[in-house]
């Protein structure tokens, strides 16, 4: 039977996979062959569907990211060195704020192409975060 720490690590892995999947779903929404600057080239029906999907997926991603950040933060208390915990939490906030800004900017401007491009940048940030912070967090948790 897995230990509590192993179960937590498994849950964190599932969250990470889900967050990456959401970002990849957002990136896959734009099916144009070029890299557009805006959505004006798409027909209105396609644009409305795409915009709805972007809104729903970015909202879900922001919520999942914030919930995940809280869970990771709680796991770190007493388990990891203070400097790692502070840097890790700062990185969490950076990712969450970028996602929030993308969502707000999308709501204000309605530019799905820009939102998708910005999510690609956050995907790179999250991938870096997983390698830089979360692998180390897992080692701390499993060593406890």
Rounded alpha-carbon distances, angstroms, from residue 45 to 30, 33, 89, 116: 14, 18, 41, 18
| 35 within a domain of the structure (yes/no) | no
- What is Dmax (Cα atoms) for the chain? 55
Average confidence score pLDDT of the chain: 84
In this predicted structure, what is the pLDDT of residue 73? 87
pLDDT, tens only, 77-120: 888 888 988 988 888 888 888 988 998 998 898 888 888 888 88
- 37 inside domain: no
Model confidence pLDDT, tens digit, residues 74-85: 888 888 888 988
Asked whether residue 36 is assigned to any structural domain, the reply reads no
Does residue 144 surpass a pLDDT of 80?
Answer: no
Q: Is residue 108 part of a domain?
A: yes
Q: Judging by beta carbons within 10 Å of its beta carbon (0-12, 13-18, 19+), is residue 88 exposed, middle or buried?
A: buried
Instruction: Answer whether residue 33 is part of any domain.
Output: no
The lowest-confidence range among 34-38, 68-72, 90-94 is 34-38
pLDDT attached to residue 31: 67
Residue 128 Cα to chain centre, angstroms: 12
pLDDT confidence of 32, banded at 50, 70, 90?
low
Which pLDDT score is estimated for 1?
62
Looking at the domain assignment, is residue 112 inside a domain? yes
Please report which helix (H) or strand (E) contains residue 68, including its range: helix 44-76
Q: Could you tell me the CA-to-CA distances from 133 to 72, 92, 123 in Å, in that order?
A: 11, 10, 15
pTM for the whole structure = 0.80
> How big is the CA angle at 61 (ends 56 and 67), to the nearest 5 degrees?
130
Cα separations in angstroms, 122 against 50, 128, 132: 19, 10, 15
- The number of domains in the chain is 1
Q: Which domain holds residue 91?
A: 4-26+42-143
């Amino acid at each position: 039977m897995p230990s509590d720490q192993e179960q937590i690590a498994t849950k964190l892995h599932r969250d990470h996979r889900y967050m990456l999947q959401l970002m990849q779903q957002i990136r896959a929404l734009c099916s144009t062959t070029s890299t557009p600057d805006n959505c004006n080239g798409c027909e209105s029906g396609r644009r409305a569907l795409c915009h709805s999907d972007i809104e729903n997926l970015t909202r879900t991603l922001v919520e999942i990211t914030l919930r995940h950040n809280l869970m990771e933060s709680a796991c770190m208390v007493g388990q990891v060195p203070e400097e790692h915990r502070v840097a890790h939490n700062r990185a969490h906030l950076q990712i969450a704020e970028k996602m929030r800004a993308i969502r707000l900017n999308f709501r204000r401007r309605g530019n799905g192409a820009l939102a998708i491009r910005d999510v690609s940048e956050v995907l790179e940030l999250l991938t870096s975060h997983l390698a830089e912070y979360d692998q180390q967090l897992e080692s701390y948790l499993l060593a406890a």
